[in-house]
Structure 1
Amino acid sequence: MMLKRWTSRVLLIDERDRLLLLCGRDPRRPGAQWWFTVGGGVEDGEDYAQAAVREVREETALSLPVERLSTVVWTRQSLLTVDGQRFDQYEEYRLARVTAAEACTVRIDTTEACYGYRWWAAEELGATSETVRPKGMASHLTRLLTAVGGPHPEPVLHLGDFDEDTDPE
């Protein structure tokens, strides 16, 4: 059975234009590991922005007000299987800049990213052979950060519709 899931994701960017990514693995597929943005499911009674700030707080211990989030910058639709469960997942991405002091206080909830976290420069993302989701993160992030240096009124970019289980990396 495929579950429908609506998610709100946050591109947490530090003062050096690095993106915070969490590392996850699928316990049913040895060696399946990927890097992904902070964020998660929208709960009953929440809008996407409320879900975003709740997820940032739960996953990083940072308390950001909704006003610190940009408008939606990207959307994506993906099919994926994790721990034997198939998902049809809609994703909205917003950007939030954090200060150096805030970046130093990040405490990652190990139930969300039990395999680590890392601040990535766009150049590092472009050069890595590791799986990063969404695909093409380096070029999308570079365009986003150079557009106007952060949150901006540009049109929302739909990154595409993907089947993470079958689409090549």
Structure 2
Amino acid sequence: MTTSTPPVRDAARAVVLDEDQRVLLLRYDEGGGFWATPGGALEEGEDYATATLRELREELGIDETAIELGMQLAERSKNHLVGGREVRQVERYFLARVSPGDVSPERATQPDNIREYRWWTRDELRSTAETVYPQGLADLIAAVAEGPTPNRPIILSG
């Protein structure tokens, strides 16, 4: 019996923090509903940082000049379905700092089935019964808030 390896889908994601160290998450209905960081697949010829900025503009209407894009914080690999097809998604998570007033969903050009967005505190992340991706996000935010930030990207699970 042979098993095929799913194709790799490179994706850029943003850990979007405001001045109070709250993180911006997006709600989706599929799979029973979950919250996740903004982001998506790289387009041909695009690097991860450029994709991160584009995704924030497309999904949340944030003007790229309002984003302070920082270092890559983490990486995660996971098999899941995209458009009914299994892929091995390799995600790189970048720190992005924005003001809540710069988030403008009415200007989003590709809201991608986003049901709502919400700013979360670390305490809310740690106490919620809702599904949040990636797992360990509260600890990652704590590392940024309390410093020093990791010298190299943290490998996340789930």
- Take 2:150 and 2:129, find their aligned partners in 1: how far apart are those partners? 32
TM-score by length of 2: 0.84
Match of 1:155 among 148, 152, 156: 152
Deviation, structure 1 residue 44:
0.3
Judged with a 3 Å threshold, the aligned counterparts in structure 2 of structure 1 residues 66 and 118 are, in CA distance, closer, same or farther, namely: closer
Deviating more after overlay: 115-124 vs 66-75: 66-75
TM-score by length of 1: 0.79
* 2:21 alignment counterpart: 17
Deviation, structure 1 residue 5:
0.5
- Take 1:106 and 1:25, find their aligned partners in 2: how far apart are those partners? 21
Between the aligned residues of both structures, percent identity stands at: 33
* 1:165 alignment counterpart: none
- Take 2:87 and 2:29, find their aligned partners in 1: how far apart are those partners? 16
Deviation, structure 1 residue 66:
10
Q: Output the aligned Cα RMSD.
A: 2.3
Per-residue displacement from partner, 1:38-85 (whole Å, max 9, x unpaired)? 111000011001101100100111122598211211011111125532
Amino acid at match of 1:5: R
Deviation, structure 1 residue 101:
3.3
Q: How many residues align?
A: 152
Q: Runs of at least 4 residues of structure 1 off by over 6 A? A: none
- Take 1:96 and 1:25, find their aligned partners in 2: how far apart are those partners? 25
Amino acid at match of 2:22: R
Structure 2 gaps, min length 5: none
Deviating more after overlay: 17-26 vs 78-87: 78-87
* 1:34 alignment counterpart: 34
Structure 1 gaps, min length 5: 163-169
Amino acid at match of 1:159: L
- Take 1:56 and 1:91, find their aligned partners in 2: how far apart are those partners? 15
